[in-house]
């Protein structure tokens, strides 16, 4: 491949001395309210199950955000003059193409930087997008966006940093603001953040999106137990757990849990632990916060970012905010 179409991949996870799955499992399963970090949901199988979720009739966020991008990618690129697109939690990067197309049409497209904790999705999307956009430089970062943003390359012209899909909602308010603050530091001169947020709406619509009739959301959440079995030699039987997802009115988030059907003791040799679960005891696997404009913009402002545009769909089910570093 010539100098124009270079793919570079940086693996921040190899040799990483930071918290491992073992650390997170020991810490999370040792709590009174047992909990596992959702980033461990995305091994190759989890990533494939998430892609399946995106196609489900009940799961409206992906297709709604796509609709907004179809309508507004040109406006976003015009407002930012973006030459490079950095994407956090890029996954299969399907919607990304709408932004890359708009940058290509504006004649500014030079580099794409996918960042994801799942090695396979970074490598596959880097190869696919490099082939689809001749001359595009791709610098993939395999890493944790909570810890490895300092490994991003220096900006190559005005940067658009996309954090789409509603993934910001998988974090609690304090973590969200910390993450946004660290994102703000990586925007570079004249850079912008494009933040995707799922919006508060009718409870039945929200709960259906996380309780699909085919049970893909359940398989996706139970997959975290298979990750523990494979990586830590644990002996979880995923079928011994019910998947429960409901809207928490107080926090305005979907709470996803695995509920033990019976009392059980599960060995996790990799961390030298036997996890005891009472009948009906739950392990929280994810939250998915839903936003109002006030909540999304409040988080951004608290992180030193200034919202400059709000793009939504006709039903106001999902929104994309464009933000830049605050002048003060």
List contacts with ligand SAH (CB under 6 A).
Answer: 39, 42, 47, 50, 54, 62, 89-91, 95, 116-118, 121, 144-146, 164-165, 167
**3-state class of 169 per DSSP?**
helix
Distance CA 208, CA 58 (A): 6
Is residue 53 involved in binding ligand AVI (CB under 6 A)? yes
Look at residues 246, 243, 165 and name the one whose alpha carbon lies nearest to residue 203: 246
Compute the chain's Rg from CA coordinates: 20
Is residue 118 involved in binding ligand AVI (CB under 6 A)? no
Phi, psi of 289 (to 5 degrees): -70, 145
34 versus 95: smaller Cβ distance to ligand SAH:
95
Distance CA 262, CA 280 (A): 7
* CA quadruple 197, 27, 148, 150: dihedral sign: positive
Residues 174-203, interacting with ligand AVI (CB under 6 A): none
Is residue 217 involved in binding ligand AVI (CB under 6 A)? yes
Residues 148-167, interacting with ligand AVI (CB under 6 A): 165-167
For residues 44 and 120, the answer to whether their CB atoms sit within 8 Å is yes
**3-state class of 299 per DSSP?**
helix
Helix locations, the chain, DSSP H: 21-29, 44-55, 60-80, 96-106, 119-132, 173-184, 203-209, 216-232, 293-302
Q: Return the one option of ligand AVI, ligand SAH, none that residue 286 interacts with (CB less than 5 to 8 A, by type).
A: ligand AVI
29 versus 164: smaller Cβ distance to ligand SAH:
164
Q: Return the one option of ligand SAH, ligand AVI, none that residue 121 interacts with (CB less than 5 to 8 A, by type).
A: ligand SAH
Is residue 112 involved in binding ligand AVI (CB under 6 A)? no
**3-state class of 88 per DSSP?**
strand
51 versus 306: smaller Cβ distance to ligand SAH:
51
Distance CA 192, CA 83 (A): 11
Q: How far is the CB of 82 from ligand AVI (least distance, A)?
A: 23
Q: Return the one option of ligand SAH, ligand AVI, none that residue 122 interacts with (CB less than 5 to 8 A, by type).
A: none
Is residue 247 involved in binding ligand AVI (CB under 6 A)? no
Number of residues near ligand AVI (by CB under 6 A): 12
Q: Which residue is nearest to ligand AVI (CB)?
A: 288
Binding residues (CB under 6 A) for ligand AVI: these are 53, 61, 165-167, 169-170, 210, 217, 220, 286, 288
């Amino acid at each position: 491949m010539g100098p124009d179409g270079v793919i570079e991949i940086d693996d921040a996870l190899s040799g990483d001395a930071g918290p491992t799955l073992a650390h997170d499992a020991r810490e999370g399963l040792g709590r009174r309210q047992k909990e596992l970090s959702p980033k461990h949901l995305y091994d190759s199988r989890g990533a494939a199950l998430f892609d399946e979720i995106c196609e489900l009739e009940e799961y409206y966020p992906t297709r709604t955000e796509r609709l907004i991008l179809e309508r507004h990618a040109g406006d976003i690129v015009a407002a930012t003059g973006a030459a490079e697109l950095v994407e956090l939690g890029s996954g299969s990067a399907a919607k990304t193409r709408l932004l890359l197309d708009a940058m290509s049409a504006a004649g500014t497209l030079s580099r794409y930087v996918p960042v994801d904790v799942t090695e396979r999705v970074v490598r596959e999307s880097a190869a696919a997008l490099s082939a689809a956009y001749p001359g595009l430089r791709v610098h993939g970062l395999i890493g944790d966006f909570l810890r490895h943003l300092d490994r991003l390359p220096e900006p190559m012209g005005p940067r658009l940093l996309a954090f789409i899909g509603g993934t910001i909602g998988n974090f609690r308010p304090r973590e969200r603001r910390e993450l946004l603050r660290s994102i703000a530091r990586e925007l570079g001169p004249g850079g912008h953040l494009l933040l995707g947020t799922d919006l508060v709406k009718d409870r039945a619509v929200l709960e259906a999106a996380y309780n699909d009739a085919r049970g893909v959301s359940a398989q996706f959440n139970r997959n975290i137990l298979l990750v523990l079995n494979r990586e830590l030699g644990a002996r979880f039987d995923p079928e011994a757990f019910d998947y429960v997802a409901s809207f928490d009115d107080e926090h305005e988030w979907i709470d996803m849990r695995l509920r033990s059907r019976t009392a059980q003791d599960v060995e996790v040799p990799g961390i030298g632990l036997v996890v005891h679960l009472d009948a009906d005891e739950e392990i929280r696997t994810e939250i998915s916060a839903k936003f109002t404009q006030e909540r999304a913009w409040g988080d951004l402002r608290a992180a030193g970012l200034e919202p400059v545009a709000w793009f939504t769909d006709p039903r106001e089910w999902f929104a994309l905010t464009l933000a830049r570093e605050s002048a003060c």
